[in-house]
Amino acid sequence: MDTERRAAIVRTLEESRDIFQAAVDAVTEKCWLLCPEPGRWSVFEIVEHVAVAENGMFRLLQSATAVENSLEDRVKEARITAGLGNRAARGQAPERARPAGRFADVPEALGKFMAAREQTIRFAGGTETNLFRVTAVHPLFAAVNGYELLLIMAGHVRRHADQITEIGERLG
């Protein structure tokens, strides 16, 4: 994996982290527990979900299986990025990543996410592993290479940052 692609994915992970932080910061504390409509998650629940999902996907990345040939597929990468950016299509989180009251409040959940994202960024920037030569099975995207998994992680966080922004706008 060349240095340029590695640097690009690290930037993408950092940008999505910063966008998520800004989205959470823009919502007032009094709105953290409010649901925008029945059946939707509150900001607190979203932040919990993102923290749990980040940790889960990082473990998935760490346990990825090495393959002999490169699995680089820029068309698939573009589909992943576009799909995660489409907020009209609602996804269904796996049961293990759904909010379950794991954290006391938004700052604690956000701190867990930030720590997990820093771990992801360090791994992405420092691993000797060719991310195009490992594969893992994501619960929603099926078989992906390591680079694609990092794109999913970044896109997932951006998607939920957009959701938080929508909630903030809706609830004032």
Q: What is the CATH number of the domain that holds 10?
A: 1.20.120.450
Give the pLDDT mean for 118-140. Answer: 92
Parent domain of 35: 3-171
Q: What is the percent of the chain with per-residue pLDDT over 70, rounded to a whole number? A: 99
Structural domain count, the chain: 1
Distance separating alpha carbons of residues 168 and 172, to the nearest angstrom:
6
* pTM, to two decimals: 0.93
Give the pLDDT mean for 83-108. Answer: 88
Of the given ranges (85-94, 120-129, 150-159), which has the lowest mean pLDDT?
A: 85-94
Give the pLDDT mean for 143-151. Answer: 94
Distance separating alpha carbons of residues 105 and 107, to the nearest angstrom:
6
Given a cut of 80, whether residue 161 has pLDDT beyond it is yes
Given a cut of 90, whether residue 167 has pLDDT beyond it is yes
Of the given ranges (45-49, 140-144, 149-153), which has the lowest mean pLDDT?
A: 140-144
Given a cut of 90, whether residue 47 has pLDDT beyond it is yes
Given a cut of 80, whether residue 89 has pLDDT beyond it is no
pLDDT for residue 91: 77
Q: What's the mean pLDDT when you consider all of the chain?
A: 92
Given a cut of 80, whether residue 59 has pLDDT beyond it is yes
37 or 44: which leads in pLDDT: 44
pLDDT for residue 92: 83
- Cα distances (angstroms) measured from residue 27 to each of 24, 32, 93, 139, 161: 6, 7, 23, 30, 11
Taking Cα atoms as reference points, which of 171, 133, 141 lies closest to residue 41?
Answer: 171
Q: What is the percent of the chain with per-residue pLDDT over 90, rounded to a whole number? A: 70
Q: Which strands make up the sheet holding 65-66, listed edge to edge?
A: 65-66, 134-138, 142-145
